[in-house]
Amino acid sequence: MLLLAMLLGGIACWAHYVALVKPLPLSTTPVVYTVSKGQTMVKIARDLVEKNHMPPTTAIVWVINARITRQAAKIKAGEYALVAPLSANQLLEKFIQGQAIEYRLTLVEGWNFHQVLTALAQHPKIKHTLIGLSHADIMQRLGQRDLHPEGQFYPDTYAFHAGFADVAFLRRAFKKMQQELDKAWEKRQTQLPLTDKYQALIMASIIEKETGAPVERPLISAVFNRRLQQHMRLQTDPTVIYGLGLDFDGNLTSEHLQQPNAYNTYLNFGLPPTPIAMPSKAALLAAVQPVAENYLYFVAKGQGLHHFSTTRKQHECAVIRFQLTKGSSRFYQQCRLWPDCDVCQ
């Protein structure tokens, strides 16, 4: 009798082991399975059986084993990818470790806050709690009631699980920007015209919008920092465009440059009141580490690059060379004003 009992016990143990370690009837194509918050082990097992992801006998052993080992209560909610080969034991470990599917959302360098909110609202796996709120209300939710949201969120790719709240996403991006801004400010050059980190953030946002060429960021920074030092207007198009808001149709005109608003740096001295976009790490560093050049002007010369000048005459000649069509009325008009430019000879 003892021998028979031992034999039966061995068979039971073997069956138990096989049930938990043999591959589940899953496809090599991942299936998304959702464990809801508060869902019991029994309900999960029953659901897996109904979806043909687990045999009934395996499900019974799976639940009993999880209860005996006190692992049932450790299962975490989330969306999980079920794909062969996967055993019942491995599935339980996946649930316990919370190895849920990671989704991603990228905040792009140079985006404004409206674009950030649009991206969050359009992501199907993010829990939307901020739709319809004003920018001020959103910042209050983040514990930053008196802070303007523009430029405060670090452009990066963020991973998260399904159901991650938009406010939590923004909180993470805000914290990252504060960290990167602190690091950049610690590396600032002496005798900068920027008085605090917020001014550095504003400067970085302008640099971000002015050029996409990494080599040019410190040069753009040199121009704007030097202009501040010499009490010259920044005269930068991106700030004007930002001030126009939804009224801007993609075509910046001379009339736009004459429209008074807080962001028109053709009319106003100093920095605009807030950042105009999310600056990258490189732009943050460039803002506080301009190159040692005496440049005061720059003009686009094509292929995303600029020509830099130290004097007004050099700049006007560069405008004639790179911006005007030779032989056009505008070309001759400018050459009459600056006849000494070599391009006019």
CA distance 170 to 150: 12
Label residue 192 by pLDDT band (50, 70, 90): very high
8 Å CB contact between 35 and 41: no
CA distance 199 to 203: 6
CA distance 77 to 66: 16
Cβ density class 223-233: b for 16+ within 10 Å, e for less: bbbbbbeeeee
Q: Which of 85-94, 130-139, 247-256, 323-332 tops mean pLDDT?
A: 130-139
Q: Is the pLDDT of residue 18 over 80?
A: no
Per-residue pLDDT tens for 250-303? Answer: 888 889 889 999 999 999 999 999 999 999 999 999 999 999 989 999 999 888
Q: In angstroms, how far is CA 272 from the centroid of its own chain?
A: 23
Cβ density class 16-28: b for 16+ within 10 Å, e for less: eeebbeeebebee
Other CB atoms within 10 Å distance of the CB of residue 332: 13
- Choose between 245 and 170: higher pLDDT: 170
Rounded CA Rg of the chain? 31
> How is domain 20-97 classified at the CATH fold level?
Dna Ligase; domain 1 (3.30.1490)
DSSP for 94-133? HHHHT-PPPEEEEPPTT--HHHHHHHHHH-TTEE---TT-
Read off the tokens for 240.
């004007």
Q: Is the pLDDT of residue 12 over 80?
A: no
Q: Can you give the residue ranges of every domain in the chain?
A: 20-97, 103-181, 190-310
8 Å CB contact between 144 and 155: no
Query: Positive or negative, the Cα torsion across 246, 250, 256, 257?
Result: positive
Which of 285, 323, 291 has the alpha carbon at shortest distance from 310?
291
Residues 6+ apart with CB under 8 A from 270: 228, 234
Q: Which of 45-59, 227-241, 243-257 tops mean pLDDT?
A: 227-241
